[in-house]
Amino acid sequence: MRSVAVMAGGVVGTLLRWSVAQIMSPSPSGFPWATLFVNITGAFALGVVGVLLIERLAHVGHLRTFLAIGLLGSYTTFSAMAVEGVRLVESRHVALAAGYWVATLVLGQLAGLLGMWLGRARIPIWKETG
């Protein structure tokens, strides 16, 4: 059953990532805004989901597998970030590539922390059950 949850989440996450790429066309400089966006928003969402489904709502096991591993695992992409950065370096945009890599790592960490903080906030609509 877990593999079905991962596959279903993977389909949804892949379609979301593809949709973002369609909406956010590449910039003239070649900066990969769509990948930066999905990685930052994915880190934020994983922070929220991780806290809510592990620390506060642990009884919803397959939902965690669907969301955290399937959906967000396929929505975010380290490999595309690496390849896009290398392409920027190869086209002699070394500073832009370095900025992209640093922005992805730093903003991703901050987004994850913000998501975890939000997940731990005692917001009434996220009350634990049980």
Answer whether residue 130 shows pLDDT above 70: no
Q: Do 6 and 70 contact (CB within 8 A), yes or no?
A: yes
Q: How wide is the angle at C-alpha 64 spanned by C-alphas 60 and 65, nearest 5°?
A: 120
Note the pLDDT of residue 2: 86
Note the pLDDT of residue 29: 75
Q: Do 72 and 42 contact (CB within 8 A), yes or no?
A: yes
Among 54, 74, 70, CA closest to 4:
70
Note the pLDDT of residue 54: 79
Query: What pLDDT band is residue 128 in, cutting at 50, 70 and 90?
Result: low
Q: Encode pLDDT of 1-59 as tens digits.
A: 889 999 999 999 999 999 999 999 877 778 899 999 999 999 999 999 888 887 777 67
Q: Give the whole-number percent of the chain exceeding pLDDT 90.
A: 67
Q: Which residue has the higher pLDDT, 25 or 76?
A: 76
Among 38, 32, 49, CA closest to 13:
38
Q: Do 47 and 113 contact (CB within 8 A), yes or no?
A: yes
- Residue 12 CA to residue 6 CA, distance in Å, equals 10
Answer whether residue 85 shows pLDDT above 80: yes
Residues of the domain holding 86? 2-126
**Overall domain count for the chain:** 1
